[in-house]
Chain A
Amino acid sequence: MDNHAAPLVEMRDISIAFGGIRAVDGASIDLYPGEVVALLGHNGAGKSTLIKILSGAYKRDAGTILVNGEEASIANPRDAKKYGIETIYQTLALADNVDAAANLFLGREIMTPFGTLDDAAMEAKAREVMGRLNPRFQRFKEPVVKLSGGQRQSVAIARAILFDARILIMDEPTAALGPQETAQVSELVMQLKKEGIGIFLISHDIHDVFDLADRVCVMKNGRVVGTARTSDVTQDEVLGMIILGKCPPGAVPGPGAMTLAA
């Protein structure tokens, strides 16, 4: 990891409010190439909201996003994809009634010279990518609603890496999976990391996080409690950050950190 280079992504002082509730309040976070940064926090801490701002699903009220050191304007999911930001959502966000190939290329279909959908080409490419991720996957003609949780997950991941993602957001990627499939996802994360892709990982599983992530960023009530290298803090200290908002010595405190006087 070369921290002297410009970060792949930097989100500065991001805020968003829904009604009167400040879901994210002045949060800053960065990500370097080939790095995995885990976002931790309780339900409703603002992790998913922060990340949805990066993927273009929500529009921020304040703050700036820099991609490769340059200010990026991200107003919708299409903009985010233009910057190479791909997201695997907690809900997988697949169109249930169409097949795997249609889902992989949704919004970015391969067209024939006549301006019609080139389904054969899309299916061929889908077979190629899925072959790499999950060689046993064969059900290309069926709507994804008929697939198992793991297979749907493969489709969601394949869609994210199909278009040369440089920044990958994984929101609870293993929530719906069994142990074997979870291991597969971990393997994939390591492989993508090697390829220099930066990954934001949102997870509840603190063991997962310590296995995979280089750094953790903990949020509480919409604010960043602190950021730390996983090598500098213990799991208990991170739990303390999540539950109490107490920032340990090994971490860089954020605006959400509990003040020592209190």
Chain B
Amino acid sequence: MADTATGAAPDRARASEQGAVGRFLQATEIDTRMLGMVGALVLIWLGLHFLSGGLFLTPRNLWNLSVQSASIAVMATGMVLVIVTRNIDLSVGSILGFVGMIMGVLQVTILPQMAGIAQGSPALWILALLAGLGVSLLIGAFQGFLVAYLSIPAFIVTLGGLLVWRGAAWWVTSGQTVAPMNPTFRLIGGGPEGSIGAFWSWVVGLAACAAVAVLLANGRRQRRRFKFPQRPVWAEVFLGALACVLILGAVGVANSYPWPAAIVRRYAQANNLSVPDGGLFIAHGIAIPVLIAVAVGIVMTFLTNRTRFGRYVFAIGGNPEAAALAGINTRWVLLKIFALMGLLAGVAAAISTARLNAATNAQGTLDELLTIAAAVIGGTSLAGGAGTIAGAMLGALLMQSLQSGMVLLGIDTPLQNIVVGAVLVVAVWLDTLYRKRA
């Protein structure tokens, strides 16, 4: 703020009133809202760790937590865009169920038996996956068409979708569960084999750190090019270091969760290895569904912040009429948002079907509510116009932390639901207070 002109005087006056914390936040440009969420997550984690007698913050539990959060986190990124434009999608859980069923039936019966594709062929899982994603995209686009072009309220269209696709999931196999999935397909769902191992996890972690450095340097160069105020160098270094510590810390945790002894034994036999007395330590590393979720998060963040589409989504959320008057084809943007939401439900379907190693017609029941809750806890405003992808993913992690924490504590399911429901309401209330103050 040093090089701004006279008009910045009030700003400077405000800055001098701030304490050390305020100056620190201003220099680093950290979002205080996001900071609050991370704080809440840390508190919940420490609380659960303490209550469970040290069971929560273990590599094993954190690794499982990351895998369990993946499918909701993927869908929450899309729900942000839906809610930002003042819409809602109640059908994602049912789309997940239906598409999971399609992926399952394709790889278990239709493709091998009717199309004659050999069981070992990679075409099997690739075709099943692509077909499932295609169907989910079409379902989303269809619902988006109804909302955008026929002006039916999204609440009604997707409430209908909730019933229709759940019923359709039942119809696919008349309610029968489909199992087991193709071994390669199952990697999408995690597990010891569905993780990338210690070496590649470090590679991914280091690559992510390098990417953070490049992004920070690039941002700085851009600001210099147009002579905008820059962050102090210490703030840039601090942010970069913080990000790298978090990334490498997460990789470290994933790499300290070993394979179970039975699987190690089987693996050793298959590869003619001898297992030493203390057992063989083979780390899980980052799970593939987590990698998928992170990749989806990065792509969606890019889409919302750096592309026209994302800019239009937020402009429509802020003032639909103004967006239309500015020449934005709001209907087409809306249709694309719902299509994207459908596609993400398809990705989530692949993850959860692979993780369960089965497709059932009840799969994804109530997921729409968890997804909406994750987005809202993550700071997406139901009034439209505000929300972040990272926040929604954190929200998903927070919801899942509560849920698996309570399982660890042995709390009954009804009480779990009561707690999750109460947390959602309180979180939104706190957010309302924050927005009023801001």
Q: Residues 53-69 of chain B: 1 if any A CB is under 8 Å from the residue's CB, otherwise 0?
A: 00000000000000000
Answer yes or no: B385 CB below 8 A from chain A CBs. Answer: yes
Q: CB within 8 Å of B: which residues of A? A: 55, 57, 76-78, 81, 87, 89, 91-98, 102, 106-109, 111, 115-117, 120-121, 123-124, 135-138, 143, 145
Q: How far, in whole Å, are A89 and B328 apart by their CA atoms in the complex?
A: 16
Q: How far, in whole Å, are A108 and B228 apart by their CA atoms in the complex?
A: 22
Q: How far, in whole Å, are A143 and B226 apart by their CA atoms in the complex?
A: 21
CB contacts (< 8 Å) of B323 on chain A: these are: 95, 106
Beyond A107-B326, A109-B311, A138-B7, whether A95 also contacts B319 by CB under 8 A is: yes
Asked if residues B223 and A77 are in contact (CB atoms below 8 Å), the reply is no
Answer yes or no: B437 CB below 8 A from chain A CBs. Answer: no
Q: How far, in whole Å, are A170 and B346 apart by their CA atoms in the complex?
A: 48
Q: How far, in whole Å, are A91 and B323 apart by their CA atoms in the complex?
A: 13
Asked if residues A107 and B318 are in contact (CB atoms below 8 Å), the reply is no
A75 CB → nearest B CB, Å: 12
Asked if residues B327 and A97 are in contact (CB atoms below 8 Å), the reply is no
Q: How far, in whole Å, are A143 and B6 apart by their CA atoms in the complex?
A: 21
CB contacts (< 8 Å) of B316 on chain A: these are: 95
Select one of A94, A96, A98, A124 contacting B226, CB under 8 A: A124
B344 CB → nearest A CB, Å: 21
Asked if residues A138 and B4 are in contact (CB atoms below 8 Å), the reply is yes
CB contacts (< 8 Å) of B315 on chain A: these are: 95, 97-98, 102, 106
Interface centre among A76, A137, A138, A143 (most CB of B within 10 A): A138
Asked if residues B319 and A94 are in contact (CB atoms below 8 Å), the reply is yes
For the complex of A and B, list the 10 residue pairs with the smallest distance between their C-beta atoms, beginning with the closest: A97-B318, A97-B385, A78-B327, A95-B315, A93-B322, A95-B318, A107-B327, A138-B7, A107-B326, A124-B226
Q: How far, in whole Å, are A262 and B228 apart by their CA atoms in the complex?
A: 67
Determine the residue in chain A with the shortest Cβ distance to B320: A95
Q: How far, in whole Å, are A140 and B226 apart by their CA atoms in the complex?
A: 14
Answer yes or no: B386 CB below 8 A from chain A CBs. Answer: yes
Asked if residues B6 and A102 are in contact (CB atoms below 8 Å), the reply is no
Q: How far, in whole Å, are A53 and B5 apart by their CA atoms in the complex?
A: 42
Select one of B7, B222, B311, B321 contacting A102, CB under 8 A: B311
CB contacts (< 8 Å) of B317 on chain A: these are: 97
Q: Residues 308-336 of chain B: 1 if any A CB is under 8 Å from the residue's CB, otherwise 0?
A: 10010011111101111111100000000
Asked if residues B328 and A107 are in contact (CB atoms below 8 Å), the reply is yes
Q: How far, in whole Å, are A24 and B157 apart by their CA atoms in the complex?
A: 36
Q: How far, in whole Å, are A212 and B6 apart by their CA atoms in the complex?
A: 32
Asked if residues A96 and B318 are in contact (CB atoms below 8 Å), the reply is yes
CB contacts (< 8 Å) of A106 on chain B: these are: 311, 315, 322-323, 326, 328
Asked if residues A77 and B385 are in contact (CB atoms below 8 Å), the reply is no
- 8 A-B pairs within 8 Å (CB atoms) are namely A78-B327, A95-B316, A97-B314, A98-B311, A102-B315, A116-B307, A120-B222, A123-B228
Q: How far, in whole Å, are A118 and B4 apart by their CA atoms in the complex?
A: 22
CB contacts (< 8 Å) of A97 on chain B: these are: 314-315, 317-319, 385-386
